[in-house]
Structure 1
Amino acid sequence: MQKIYLHHPYDKTQIINEPIVMALGFFDGVHLGHQRVIKTAIDEARLRGIKVAVMTFSQHPKIVYQKLDPKEMTYLSTNERKEELFEQLGIDIMYMIDYTYDFGMQSPQTFVDDYIVAFNVEVIVAGFDYTYGKREVANMQTLPEHAKGRFEIIEIPELILHQKKVGSSNIKDLIETGEIETANEELGYIYQTSGVVIHGDKRGRLLGYPTANILTDDLELIPAVGVYVVEIEVGDHWYQGMASIGYNITFEANRKMSCEVYILDFNQTIYGEKVKIKWHHYLRPELKFASTDDLIHQLDEDLIDTRAYFATLGG
């Protein structure tokens, strides 16, 4: 996949000088609804014998329009993860635009002229709720007026699953309430986050369950407090594990939230390693135990449940 990063106003020499089909969207999470948009664009491009592109943005437009602090935003997918998902789906060209104030203040007509027509687009594919400015004047109903017959438009209707629209906000709500398996169904893949292994309290070693303490990416949405069945990638290998997100309330109060992973059948020192975590299944909430023995007993039960879960997957 060819990756092209643009800052408004862009250098025209960066634009691919050939006809394309383009999928439009912010695509946070690249969930099943987004995948329908992208796969439709790919199919249309293959029929025409031309390349398929996607246009996305470096940060959420809310940061500009609602004047939010970028540090307050969390995403289902970082830009790096989003690029990885685009490539897996078969996108040929990715245009990632820096969503700045100047870019966001363009008129709808200027956006269409400079970011669609000037990109040699033959067909645009976008979701029913796509906007390219203020919703009331720059939406899928107004796009034909701004297109002026210079490209075709394919509008993808909303996708309903679990009696709700599949959307990034709904999926975030599911993840934040521990409904990870439902979220995974709507994503169309196992939710994944990233981080770096750092030093922790090393208390897990004393319990017989040494854990990797993960410094998570501030931009990524972390699942709700609780214990989960996960996979963790260390180096180029995925390992089975169980993760705890919480405050270690059994040992002391007022601790910062931590993310710790016990990696099954693993005995390596991995401080400083960059890792990825796939969140498969919610096991239980964080509990406060009366004694260390009670905690160890529960961890033993969690391990049994974790192995049983992977056994059902054939893993």
Structure 2
Amino acid sequence: MEIIKLHHPYDKDALYPKEIVLVLGFFDGVHKGHQRVIKRGIEKAKEKNVKCAVMTFNQHPAIVYSKFDPYEHQYLTTLTRKEELMESLGVDILYEVDFTSRLGSLSPQEFVDQYIVGLNAVAAVAGFDYTYGKKTVASMDHLPGYANGRFEVVTVQQKSDHGAKISSTRIRKVLKEGRVEEANELLGYIYEVPGVVIHGDARGRTLGYPTANMYPEPFIILPKRGVYAVKVWVNGVWYDGMASIGYNVTFEKRKNYSVEVHIFDFNEEIYGEHIRVKWVSFLREEVKFASAEQLIEQLEIDERQSRGILSDVNVNKEKFI
């Protein structure tokens, strides 16, 4: 997959020079609803015998259009993760456009002229709720008028699960409630968070459960506090493990939460290493135990439960890596 980064106003020489089918959306999470839109774009590109290009933004448009609190609007995917998922789907070209105030100030017609027609699109594919400005004048219903016969408009209707729309907002909600299994079903793959291993209290070693203390990627949403069965990527290999998100309430409660990952059958120093954690299943809430011995007993139960759950999970056969 070719990745082309654009900053408004873009250099025409940076563009793919031939005709394309262009798929439009922010695609945070690249969930099942997004996948439906992208697959329709790939199908249309094959019909027209051209390449399929997806256009996304490097950051959320709310940064320009409204007051934006990055701690309230956390992402489901980093840009790098989004690239991986797009490539796995079979996208030929990924346009990553810097979303700035200059770009956001374009009128709907200017956006269409510069970022659909200008990118040599013979067809534009997007979800039914895609907008390119104020919804009242820049919805998918308005797009054929702005196209003025220069490209085909393909609108993909919503994809639902149990009668409710699959959306990034819905997935964020279930993650914050700890329902990672439901989030994974809506995504179509196991949700993951990247981070770097930092020094912690090293208390896990004294309990027989050494942990990697992970500093997660900023602005990527974490599941709610609790203990989870996880898959952990370290130096190109996926391991089974369990992870805790919380404040270490059994001992001296921390001011800030921590993410501690115990990797099964693993005994290497990995401080400073970048790891990836896939959140497979929620095990239990964070609990304050009366003693270290009670905590160890519970950790042994957590490990048995995690090993049982993870024995049936093979990330190498997962649709999206």
Q: Same fold (TM over 0.5)?
A: yes
CA 1:314–1:71 in 2, change beyond 3 Å: closer, same or farther? closer
Structure 1 unmatched runs, 5+: none
Check if 1:98 corresponds to 2:98: yes
**1:281 paired to 2:284:** no
Q: 1:184 is matched with which residue? A: 184
Give 2:87's aligned residue: 87
* C-alpha deviation, 1:278, in angstroms: 0.6
SS at match of 1:189: coil
- Match of 2:311, SS? helix
Distance 1:254 1:37 in 2: 44
User: Which residue number corresponds to residue 136 of structure 2?
Assistant: 136
Query: In structure 1, how many angstroms separate the alpha carbons of the residues matched to 2:162 and 2:247?
Result: 32
Tell me the residue number matched to 1:302. Answer: 302
- 8 Å CA contact 1:248, 1:255 repeated in 2: no
Q: How far 1:119 sits from its partner (Å)?
A: 0.8
Shift of 1:69: 4.6
Query: Does the C-alpha gap of structure 1 residues 69 and 183 become closer, same or farther in structure 2, counting only changes over 3 Å?
Result: closer
Structure 1 residue 67, shift from structure 2 partner:
2.8
The alignment of Structure 1 onto Structure 2 pairs a total of residues equal to 315
TM-score, with normalisation over the residues of structure 2? Answer: 0.96
**Runs of 5+ in structure 2 lacking a partner?**
316-321
Residue of structure 1 in register with 2:78 after alignment: 78
Please identify, of 159-168 and 125-134, the stretch whose mean Cα deviation from structure 2 is larger: 159-168
1:244·1:260 contact (CA, 8 Å) conserved in 2? yes
Cα distance per residue 1:200-220 (max 9 Å; x no partner): 100000000000000111121
**1:135 corresponds to which letter in structure 2?**
K
Aligned-residue offset at 1:176: 0.6
TM-score, normalised on structure 1? 0.98
Following TM superposition, where does structure 1 have runs of at least 4 consecutive aligned residues deviating by more than 6 angstroms?
Answer: none
Q: Measure how far apart 1:314 and its partner are.
A: 7.1
CA distance in 1, matches of 2:257, 2:214: 11
Kept in 1: contact 2:248–2:254 (CA 8 A): no
3-state SS of 1:146 partner: helix
Letter aligned with residue 22 of structure 1? L
The match for 2:238 is 238
Aligned CA RMSD, in angstroms, stands at 1.2
Identity %: 53
Name 1:201's counterpart in structure 2. Answer: 201
Q: For the residues of structure 1 that align with 2:253 and 2:212, how far apart are their CA atoms?
A: 21
Indicate yes or no: 2:69 matched with 1:45: no
Encode CA deviations 1:54-75: one digit per residue, 9 max, x unaligned.
0000110111111325565410
Deviation at 1:12, TM superposition (A): 1.1
